[in-house]
Amino acid sequence: MKYDEVVEAIFVSRLNRFIAEVDIKGVRHQVHVRNTGRCMELFIKGAKVYLEPAKNPDRKTKYSLVALYKDEMLINIDSQIPNYVAKEAIYNNKYLAESLGEVTFLKSEVTYGNSRFDLYYENNHLGTKGFIEVKGVTLEENQVAKFPDAPTTRGTKHINELIKSQQDGYKSYILFVVQLAPVNYFMPNDVTDPDFGEALRRAKDKGVTILCFDSVIKPDSIVLRKPIEVRL
């Protein structure tokens, strides 16, 4: 997935969940933050960040913050991007194709039970169909990718619904898209949200396929690369 344009800036402060202040060539701007997570370890004064110009000229904030550097590591923090990255990879990434097979039908935002999953797919050649819930990962500790960075009752609910779909005959997946590199492996962040970690382990036991992929990150793009180990 490639942005049409990005602008380099320096991070100043985060004013609230949605708005940050940055410095563009000596001028302060308030920009939209494309991630409502805490990301406390990322939003550090003086960090180099990248902004996407707003496509709507009348929007109050003229830019959206989509990527930044944590020390020497470039991280895409755009929470809207993992679904696009996953959809591209379903047709272009050989490793993901090995798990899903040849997808013959794909639809976004499909309701099942009490949840709306990111993707619904069908593989007519294998006779399989199911749901794919995509989670973007921006938390890294000692080259270990972790999710979530804050408690997520919604995320746990999605996992429980995926378990139900599996029991109803679907072949369902959880796909973690790591929006940074390099990392050695992925694990649930049990310290922050033990319920999510427990639900993830239960999902694996019930047959839900858990995948985690790292990415090639550039200031103006992110592309799914290859699977990394999931340690539960």
Domain extents in the chain: 7-76, 81-230
Nearest to 145 by CA among 184, 180, 186, 181: 186
With 90 as the cut, is the pLDDT of residue 131 above it?
yes
CATH: 3.40.1350.60, 1.10.1040.10, 3.40.50.720, 3.40.640.10. Which one for 81-230? 3.40.1350.60
Q: What is the mean pLDDT of the segment spanning 151-173? A: 96
Helix (H) or strand (E) holding 166: helix 153-167
What's the pLDDT band for 36 if we cut at 50, 70, 90? confident
Helices (H), 47-180: 81-92, 94-100, 153-167
Computed over every residue of the chain, the mean pLDDT equals 95
CATH: 3.20.20.70, 3.40.190.170, 3.40.50.300, 2.40.50.580. Which one for 7-76? 2.40.50.580
Query: So what's the pLDDT on residue 37?
Result: 81
What's the pLDDT band for 231 if we cut at 50, 70, 90? very high
Using a pLDDT cut of 70, give the percent of the chain over it: 100
pTM of this prediction?
0.94
In angstroms, the CA 171 to CA 127 distance is 10
Query: So what's the pLDDT on residue 57?
Result: 86
With 90 as the cut, is the pLDDT of residue 191 above it?
yes
Domains 7-76 and 81-230 equal at CATH topology level: no
Cα 212 from chain centroid (whole Å): 10
Hey, is 9 helix, strand or coil? strand
Condensed to tens digits (0 to 9), the pLDDT of residues 197-217 reads 999 999 999 999 999 999 999
Longest distance between any two alpha carbons in the chain, whole Å: 58
Tokens encoding 107:
């639809």
